[in-house]
Amino acid sequence: MEKIYTKIVNGQSGEAKFFLGNEAIVRGAIESGIDVYTFYPGTPSSEVGETFIALFKKVGMKWVESSINEKVAMEVAGAAYARGATAMVGMKNVGLNVASDPLFALATTSPKNENSALVILVADDPQQHSSAVEMDSRNFLKLFKIPALEPGNPQECLEFTKEAFNISKELKLPVIIRTVTMVAHARSNVIVGNIKKSELKNDFDLSKEFNVALRTFFLEMKEDHIYNRMVKALEISEKSKLNRVENENFTNEFELGIITSGVSYSYVVEALNFLGLKAPILKIGIINPLPVRKIISFLDKFKKILIVEENDPYLETQVLAIAHRDNLKVRIFGKDPFSYSKEGLLLPYVGELNPTKVALALINITKLKPKLNLEQILERKYESLTRVPSLCPGCPHRTTGYALQKAVKKVKSTTRKEVYFYQDIGCYTLLALPPFSFANVKYCMGSSIALAQGVTHTSESLNIAIIGDGTFFHSGIPALLNGIYNKAPILVLILDNGWIGMTGQQPHPGSDTLYYAEGDFKKRIYLERLLLGTGAEFDVIKHAEKQDGKYSVELYDLIYRKSLEVLESKNLHVILIQDECIQKTIKRQAIIIRAVDTDSCNNCSICYNQFLCPAIVEIEDNAYIDSGICLGCGVCEEICPNKAIHKEEI
C-alpha cells in the first residue's frame, strides 16, 4: 500500500511518472480535491477503485467504497454530490446499464452547493478483451444529456479527469469520462500537477426543489437542465481546447479531412504518417455535447471527410445530421450508420480499431499505394495453437465443475431427464468451455437464477443455475427471492469463493477480510444467514472444514442427491459451496505443492484430462506436476484413484 501511495501521490508538479491510464485518472481526481469514490469493479476500470482503496485514508478523502453494484455506487456518489462533495463513481460499460436508472434522474437534479461535482468513469471494452458483450456506452449520452470527455492516452486521462471535475462543478451536471481498454490499460509517461486538498464544507443545502425527482419539481429542473445547463455545456465544448484541429494548414489532393476522438486519434496519426498523407484532423475531446460550430467550419473546408471511431457510428450520425442541417456539400465516409451492411464498409462496427484498419480505410478513399502491401501481409496466414483461457491452478471452481460433471452424469442416467445450465458473470463462466460445457443460456450479471426459472416453468428438465458470491450480491438476490416465492423447481449453486475473483479479488459484503490487509473493517454479511432468512431449502458445504480428502466426493454426492430432490419435490434448492479463491488463500497461507509418485501413477489421465489442472501435464507416460505452476489446493491428491499424488517433501 505504501508503494502505491508513493507511486500515485508523491511527486511535484511537472514530474513525469510511468502511469497506467487508470492510475492517471486517480491522480487527476486527487489533483481535483476528490472527497468520495464509489465503484463496482469491472475490467478495464477496476484499478481505479483498487488504487483509491489503497490510499484514500492517507490522502484525506472522506469515503471510498467498492459498492454492492453499480446502481448503489451511483446513488451513494450521487447524494454525496448533491450535498456538496467532489465525488466520482466508476464502472465498466455494462455497469452503466445497471446504474442508468438513478443516473437519469440524477442528471437532471441541480445541487445548490458550491463544491458539488460528480464525474462518472465508464470504461468500454471494444473487442471484448474481458467482457461478456461489446457495448458502446456513448449511445447513452443522448439519453442522459450530460457532458462527456474521452481521453486517448494516460496523460489525457489525468488532464481530462481534472477538466471533467471543473465542468461538473461549474455547470452542476454530472460529467462522464469514457475510456476504452487501450486507454485505461495503456502505460505512458504522465506529467503530474499539484495535489489539491479536499474543500468539503460541513454546511450544505439539500433543498427538495433541486434534488427530488418528482413531478412537482422535475419538469422545472429538466427545463433548466436542457435549456440552461446544456446550453452552457455546448459553449464550453465550442471553446474548449480539448476539441481542436490538428495540422490545420495541411492540404492534400483529395481535399480530405478527418474527424476522430480518443485513442482512435493516435491510430489516425500513425496511419497518415505511414501513407505520407497530410490531412487536418478535428480531434474531439468533449464527445457530448459536440462542438457544432467547430464541426461546421471544419466540414466546410473539405470535399471528403473520414470519421474514425470504434464500434458504433456515434460521431458519424451526428456529423451527418449537422452537415444536412447546414446544407454542406461534403461526402462523409465511415460506417454508413443507416445501412447495417458489411458490403463496402470502410471501418468496422465490431471490434477494436488499430492503425492498420485506419490505413486501409484511407487507402480505400485515396487509392494511394504504400510501399508496404498491407493486404498481402494480412493474407499470409499461419497455423497456430488454439488456446482457451483456463481457470487458475488450484481454482475452487474446477473442483465444483469436476463434481458437478460426475453428479449430472448420474442424474441423467438414473432419471432420463435432460439437464440445462444457466451461467453468470465470473471466472466460473469458463466452466462453459469443454470438457465441462456447463452453459445453455447466459446474459448478464445476476441473470442465471431467473433464466433457470424461465425454462423450468415450461419443461420437465432439471435446470441448474450457477452463480458466484459477488454476482449473487450484485443482482442475484431478487431473482432468488422470485424463484423461492414462485416455487420454481431449480437447483441454485452459489459458488462462494469469498471475493470478486475475476477482477482482482475485491471484497464484497460477504468477504471475510479479517486475515487480509483490509482487516475486520466492515460488517460482514453471511450468505448462510441471508439464505436462512429467505426460507429457501439450502445446504452449505465448506472445503476448509473438510480436510479428510473426501471433499470432492461429498460435493458430488450432495449435488446428485439435491438434484433428485428438486426433480421430485418440485421445490427450489440452494447449495452454497464455500471454497476460497486460491489467489487470496496463497496470500495468507504457505503453498504446499503436490508431486506425482511415478511408481504408483498408471497414467489414467484423470488429473490432466478430466480435472484439467493446468499445473499437471503428461510426460513420458506419467502425470507430472509443474512445481512452478501448482498452487497447492490438493484436490488432485483427492481425485487420484491410484493415490499417486502426495505433498511435495521440502
Partner 1 sequence: MIYDCYTIVITGLGGQGLIKIIQILGTALMNEGYKVISSETHGLSQRGGKVTCFLRFGNTLNAPIPMIGTADMIIALEESTIIDALKFTKPDKSTLLIISTYEKNVLGQEYPSIQGLLNNLYERSDKIYFIPAMEIAEKQTGNPKTMNSVILGYITKFLYLNKKVLEESINHNFSETIIELNLKAFNEGLNL
Binding site for partner 1 (CB under 8 A): 16, 18, 43-44, 46, 128-130, 153-155, 181-183, 185-189, 263, 266-267, 269-271, 274, 354-356, 359, 372, 374, 377-378, 380, 382-392, 427, 429-430, 502-503, 608-609, 612, 614, 617, 628
Nearest to partner 1 of 356, 534 (CB atom): 356
Strand partners, 284: 261
Query: Using the 8-state DSSP alphabet, how is residue 474 labeled?
Result: I
CB of 207 to partner 1, least distance (A): 43
**Partner residues linked to 209 by β-bridges:** none
Residue type, 284: I
Give the list of residues 6+ apart from residue 535 with CB closer than 8 angstroms, or none.
Answer: 484
Cell numbers at 551, concatenated: 471433499
Q: Which is nearer to partner 1, 153 or 318 (CB)?
A: 153
Beta carbon nearer to partner 1, 50 or 637: 50
Taking the least distance from each CB to partner 1, the nearer of 389 and 533 is: 389
Handedness of CA 32, 101, 292, 362 (dihedral sign): positive
State the nearest-atom distance from the C-beta of 632 to partner 1, in Å: 15
- Helices 355-366 and 262-275 pack at an angle, to 10 degrees, of 60
- Min CB(353)–partner 1 separation in Å: 8
E runs forming strands in 3-50 = 16-20, 36-39
Pick 344 or 389: Cβ nearer partner 1: 389
Q: Taking the complex as a whole, how short is the minimal distance between the CB of residue 174 and partner 1, in angstroms?
A: 27
Cβ proximity to partner 1, 322 vs 374, nearer residue = 374
Cβ-based nearer residue to partner 1, 263 or 332: 263
Report d(CA 270, CA 265) in Å as an integer: 9
Query: Residue 128 Cβ, how far from partner 1 at the closest point, in Å?
Result: 8
Q: Partners of 36 in the beta sheet?
A: 63, 87
Contact (CB, 8 A) for 476 and 424: yes
Of 44 and 632, nearer to partner 1 (C-beta) is 44
User: Minimum distance between the CB of residue 536 and partner 1, rounded to whole angstroms?
Assistant: 29
User: Rounded to whole angstroms, what are the CA distances from 173 to 67, 130, 148, 166, 510?
Assistant: 22, 31, 10, 11, 34
We find the least distance from the C-beta atom of residue 564 to partner 1, in angstroms, to be: 33
Cα 104–106–107 angle (5° rounding)? 70
List the grid coordinates of 216. Answer: 412537482
Identity at 131, one-letter amino acid code: S
Strands 148-149 and 286-288: what pairing?
Answer: antiparallel
- Measured between its terminal Cα atoms, the distance across the chain in Å is 32
**Pairing mode, strands 286-288 and 419-422:** unpaired
Find the shortest distance in angstroms from Cβ 16 to partner 1.
Answer: 6
Place of cell 460488517: 523
Contact by Cβ (8 Å): 250, 297: no
Backbone φ/ψ region at 627: left (φ over 0), alpha (ψ -120 to 50), beta? alpha
Minimum CB distance to partner 1, residue 115 (Å): 34
In the complex, what is the shortest distance from the CB of residue 421 to partner 1, in angstroms, rounded to a whole number? 18
Cα angle for residues 428, 39, 82 (degrees, 5° grid): 150
- Coil, helix or strand at residue 609: helix
Please identify, using beta-carbon distances, which residue of 33 and 126 lies nearer to partner 1. Answer: 126
Which residue has 471494452 as its cell numbers? Answer: 125
CB of 441 to partner 1, least distance (A): 20
Q: Which residue, 173 or 284, is less far from partner 1 as judged by CB? A: 284
Which region, left, alpha or beta, applies to residue 617 given φ > 0 means left and ψ of -120 to 50 means alpha? beta
Choice between 384 and 413, CB closer to partner 1: 384
